[in-house]
Amino acid sequence: MSLQQALFSPRSVAVVGQSDDAGKTAGRPLKFLRQLGYAGRVYPINPRRETVLGERAWPSLAALPEPPDHVYVVTPTTAAVEAVEECGRLGVKVVTVLADGFAEAGAAGLARETRLRDVCMRTGLRIVGPSSLGIVDLRSKAMLTANAAFDETDLPVGRIFAASHSGSLIGALLTRGKARGIGFAGLVSVGNEVDLSLGEICEATLDDPGIDGYMLFLETMRHAASLHRFALAAAERGKPVLAYKLGRSAAARELAVSHTGALAGEDDVADVFLAECGIARVDTLDGLIEGLPLLARVPLATGGARRRSVGVLTTTAGGATMVVDPLASRGVTIEPASAATLARLAGGGIEVKPARMVDLTVAGARYDTMKTTLDILLTAPEFDLVLAVVGSSARAQPEATVRPVIESAGAGKPLATFVVPDAPEALAALSRAGVPNFRTPEACADAIAAALSRRAPRPMVARSAPPPVMAAGRILDEFAAGALLDRLGIARAPSVALDAGIAAAPALPFAYPVAVKVLSADIAHKTDVGGVVLGVADGDGLLAAIRKIRTGVAERQPGARVGRVLVQPMVAGIGEALVGYRVDRDVGQLVMVAIGGVMTEIARDRSLRLAPVDGATAREMLGELRGLPLLAGYRGRPAGDLAALAQAIVALSRLADDPTVAEAEINPLIVRPAGEGVVAVDALVKLAGKP
């Protein structure tokens, strides 16, 4: 029996801790299994009762006539651990665990997790959860869930698989989908992912011919590698993946930490990771629920930044602008109809003003007008996607304005529809016809932007396994860091080390003015301890600078060794950049670039990618920086050498092949005028610690 079968179409299931009270959480699984008519064998287990909900209750897993394919454990924590151990002994294939009290519950909880993992290792048992509200297949009716929202008899079966870190959300997706005529093949609440991760569970469904696409509700980026593997395989099969991820705000990330026990990374890291996986990310709940039909119709872009231009057809300018506003804020271009398209429209008897939108308010909400206009726009080369916005007529006269949308939807470019009034019948008709439609302007814009941003996933590059970032690593001194830059081919300022005790200034191999910096493995942030003096003009200044550094460090970091100082020529340039590399605990190797100074520190302006990157990607990263003009000819200054800056990003990103380095930051990297390259002036390198 495959993992997929045990998870989704088990021949037999047991519910450990099944209650006799169907109103209680622990009473629900048996009720739901019977209510929907699961056809396999069901073993309710309750050692304190003869029967539960009118059926024979078994005293224990060991007393069953067979080891069930899939066991759902709904007992409290301690008993749950024991039940899992028993599953292992009996050769059960999969167990799903409801109880909490694991990773989020301190040391005792972590110890319980270790016990669960140990069972998996020893016996081959696979675990969903703990803290899983269950796993459900609406085709096999294997309703192993305690989520109250499944207490219905008419759950629509569809072709979407939903996976969620939040247990409550599988109920929200199910019921909100149902209200929109959207059905699911299956849903899973993955809980703490102590064994099977969200990505692995989704991966197990990839060859299910009844599943066309995926909805993910993510709270953390834990187990990112398995998510990446799943996403690549889904893309190969043409199955789109749409994700909502909590954590845009720091407060939300903190909540995710406290209730799942996972550590939350920064949000732009999640953004970049999902993008590189070819997973579209939405910011609205409705965008997640309503977005898949559109995602399935927008072809995946490959290579280079994709065009993102939307043509808008509307019967109400104000209604359409509600969608345009958030779309434009997300960087999507609202493209006016070209002269050729306007000419085709005029040829079809449609007179519209040349403007950003094709506004039919004046032409009127008539079937022929809508149909002709749609057919022309959907085949116009200037658009990547067409948005049709229908006003009050969508409710009052759907024949005039919604029927043409349905009839034209397959005609060319992807089509998204927003209906301005409350118009449930129009929406249902659009959904039945498979035409992407949205209930709110915000979800519509969200899904369009997500679909147009999605690119083909980057193949998993052969990278060394990420080093164990948790262990404390050693910081390289400036000389060793310099040697690493040399090896990567990143130019750096020449430097000499001087004994901090010198009484006379020696001859230097470069001209004054120079910079003097403390050289000590004890000191990570030299500036903070007064360890840097810039613009030293001559030998006397050099000696004075050394004295100043020794005094400053002695005051601000007493005990730090100041045996030597580093002397470099002052390097002038157009501006400064910061290029960094690090191994993220969730998503692995990352490379980062930022413009130096306030744009980085205050405006939080940076661009990230999974490392390593090629030159095209590095240039794309630079293009994402709002502060790029500072290096590209700002206020009449000459332009900086952006080609060399991109090359430095590429070079530093190659650390992804070096498992000994955990983190490296070049700050500042002086950007000189075009053609004159970039020069690293300082670098901080942290080695991976011992596992």
611 close to 656: Cβ distance less than 8 angstroms: yes
Minimum CB separation from its own copies for residue 636, in Å?
A: 8
- The reply to whether 286 sits near its own copies by the rule CB under 8 A is yes
Stretch that binds its own copies, among 9-17, 61-69, 566-574, 595-603 (CB under 8 A): 595-603
**Using the rule CB under 8 A, which residue among 74, 194, 294, 599 binds its own copies?**
599
Name residues contacting its own copies, limited to 4-33 (CB under 8 A).
23, 25
Closer by beta carbon to its own copies, 43 or else 217: 217
Which helix (H) or strand (E) is 78 found in, with range?
helix 77-90
**Using the rule CB under 8 A, which residue among 252, 301, 544, 643 binds its own copies?**
252
Minimum CB separation from its own copies for residue 67, in Å?
A: 31
Minimum CB separation from its own copies for residue 613, in Å?
A: 24
Minimum CB separation from its own copies for residue 227, in Å?
A: 17
* 657, HSE (Cβ side, Cα atoms, 13 Å): 11
Burial class (CB in 10 A: 0-12, 13-18, 19+), 100: buried
DSSP 440: S
232 close to 279: Cβ distance less than 8 angstroms: no
Encoded tokens for 347: 């040829």
**Strand order from edge to edge, sheet including 142-145:** 142-145, 134-137, 184-189, 157-164, 213-218, 241-245, 280-282
Minimum CB separation from its own copies for residue 253, in Å?
A: 9
- The reply to whether 100 sits near its own copies by the rule CB under 8 A is yes
Minimum CB separation from its own copies for residue 174, in Å?
A: 8
Cis peptide before 612 (omega within 30 of 0): yes
Closer by beta carbon to its own copies, 166 or else 653: 166
Minimum CB separation from its own copies for residue 377, in Å?
A: 17
Closer by beta carbon to its own copies, 295 or else 365: 365
593 close to 664: Cβ distance less than 8 angstroms: no
DSSP string, 225-291: HHHHHHHHHHHHTT--EEEEES-SSHHHHHHHHHHH-PPP--HHHHHHHHHHTT-EEESSHHHHHH-
- The reply to whether 381 sits near its own copies by the rule CB under 8 A is no
478 close to 522: Cβ distance less than 8 angstroms: no
- The reply to whether 197 sits near its own copies by the rule CB under 8 A is no
Name residues contacting its own copies, limited to 430-489 (CB under 8 A).
440-443
366 close to 399: Cβ distance less than 8 angstroms: no
Closer by beta carbon to its own copies, 457 or else 596: 596
Which helix (H) or strand (E) is 601 found in, with range?
helix 598-601
Name residues contacting its own copies, limited to 610-629 (CB under 8 A).
626-627, 629
- The reply to whether 148 sits near its own copies by the rule CB under 8 A is yes
433 close to 402: Cβ distance less than 8 angstroms: no
Which helix (H) or strand (E) is 579 found in, with range?
strand 575-584
Rounded Cα–Cα distance for residues 50 and 649 (Å): 68
Rounded Cα–Cα distance for residues 583 and 203 (Å): 25
Site size toward its own copies (CB under 8 A) is: 89
Name residues contacting its own copies, limited to 394-433 (CB under 8 A).
395-397, 420-424
Interface characters, 303-322, with its own copies (x: CB under 8 A) = ------------xxxxxxxx
- The reply to whether 598 sits near its own copies by the rule CB under 8 A is yes
Minimum CB separation from its own copies for residue 383, in Å?
A: 15
- Tell how strand 94-97 and strand 70-73 pair up: parallel
Minimum CB separation from its own copies for residue 24, in Å?
A: 9
Closer by beta carbon to its own copies, 361 or else 431: 361
- Angle subtended at Cα 390 by Cα 389 and Cα 396, rounded to the nearest 5 degrees: 170
Number of Cβ within 10 Å of residue 511's Cβ equals 8
**Using the rule CB under 8 A, which residue among 43, 161, 217, 438 binds its own copies?**
217
Name residues contacting its own copies, limited to 348-377 (CB under 8 A).
353, 355-357, 359, 361-362, 364-365
99 close to 75: Cβ distance less than 8 angstroms: yes
Name residues contacting its own copies, limited to 622-661 (CB under 8 A).
626-627, 629-630, 635
Tell me which amino acid residue 628 is.
L
Q: What values do phi and psi take at 570, rounded to 5?
A: -70, 130
Minimum CB separation from its own copies for residue 232, in Å?
A: 26
Stretch that binds its own copies, among 195-203, 324-332, 481-489, 585-593 (CB under 8 A): 324-332
Stretch that binds its own copies, among 159-167, 462-470, 487-495, 511-519 (CB under 8 A): 159-167
**Using the rule CB under 8 A, which residue among 46, 75, 284, 520 binds its own copies?**
284
Closer by beta carbon to its own copies, 233 or else 328: 328
Closer by beta carbon to its own copies, 43 or else 418: 418
CA distances to 71, 95, 106, 671 from 112, in Å: 19, 15, 10, 53
- The reply to whether 171 sits near its own copies by the rule CB under 8 A is yes
